[in-house]
Amino acid sequence: MDLRLIAAAPLAALLLVACGDTHEDAGYRGDEAAYESAPAAAPQMRDMALQASRSAPPPPPPSPGAEAEEVALLAYRHTYGLRVPAANLAGLHTAHQEACAAAGGNVCRVINASINDPEGDRPTGSLEIRARPDWIASFRARLGDEVSEAGGTIHSENTSVEDLTTQIVDGEARLRAQTALRDRLQGLLESADGPMSDVLAVERELARVQADIDARASVIAALRTRVETSRLTIQYHPIVGPASPVRFNPIMQALEDFTDTLSEGVAAVIIFVAVILPWLIIGVPLVFLVRWLWSRRKKKKAAAAKAG
């Protein structure tokens, strides 16, 4: 088999895939740019590529359940804002982390957890987890009771949905095309009997196709994870009573900073005077000198006019 025809087959497959793709995910645009920047093939290579493309198998028809699957490719994200008494905030934050850990890493994972000033008068915290939808549903069902038992309330709740159908379906279609191309290249490489340069060219193309397959597979796996699990974010805020000293913190802080603020103001005035004083020493006499010279000149002109 002529290895020039073998080397041209990947080009034909790439052309077919590029023409059939109209909704490509942004994560794959870098690959498309690489394909477009490849040098143009010689006329005879294009002829051989067209000949090879005619022998390529047609893409498989969509499965009967494809439409149903597309409807289900949704990524959910839930966000809650809680107001909890300062004394109970840290405990509730810890309890939610422990509940996720108890479910196991295959069910629930803590992505981010933070708490500020847990022993202070105004602690704040946040918790971000990713878990299976059924676990998230049960957690949300009991969240209101847990917050009430802690003396708090849910002051905000939001659920957002992102449709990943196009990205996943198109990505998997391109992955199948690249996988078929890789298998064909491997078969042609095993039966190749041409010059070594042609064999190396096919091997390089095979390596490039395999790298593209690995990259697409990782992206699709990440998107599938977003569909198969839900993301939950909780923000914890303290409840501050009307007579709580915390409400007067800005005033107390301002009184504490009064001396420092006054000192900084006086220092700013001193710096201003120090900067402007040299210009005053030079500028004021210069202004008087200019006025004196101007007045003297006017008197000379007036005297010359009278004499004339």
pLDDT of the chain along its 308 residues, tens only?
444 444 444 444 444 334 444 333 444 344 433 333 333 333 333 343 333 333 444 445 455 444 444 466 899 999 999 999 999 999 999 999 999 999 999 999 999 999 998 888 889 999 999 999 999 999 999 999 999 999 999 999 999 999 999 999 999 999 999 999 999 988 888 887 778 888 888 889 999 999 999 999 999 999 999 999 999 999 999 987 554 454 445 666 676 777 888 888 888 989 988 888 888 888 888 888 888 888 888 888 877 777 76
Considering the domain architecture, whether residues 152 and 261 belong to the same structural domain is answered as no
Q: What is the helix (H) or strand (E) element at residue 290, kind and residue range?
A: helix 258-307
Considering the domain architecture, whether residues 122 and 231 belong to the same structural domain is answered as yes
Average pLDDT, the chain: 77
Measured distance CA(115)–CA(109) in Å, rounded: 18
**Strand locations in 188-258 (E):** 230-239
Considering the domain architecture, whether residues 107 and 152 belong to the same structural domain is answered as yes
Q: Is there a domain that residue 159 lies in? A: yes
Considering the domain architecture, whether residues 210 and 261 belong to the same structural domain is answered as no
Domain with 291 in it: 257-297
Tokens representing residue 33 in the block = 């740019």
Q: Is there a domain that residue 171 lies in? A: yes
Q: What is the helix (H) or strand (E) element at residue 83, kind and residue range?
A: strand 74-85
Identity of the residue numbered 24: E
Considering the domain architecture, whether residues 216 and 173 belong to the same structural domain is answered as yes
Contact 126, 233 (CB under 8 A): yes
Considering the domain architecture, whether residues 167 and 281 belong to the same structural domain is answered as no
Residue 41 has what pLDDT?
A: 35
Domain count, the chain: 2
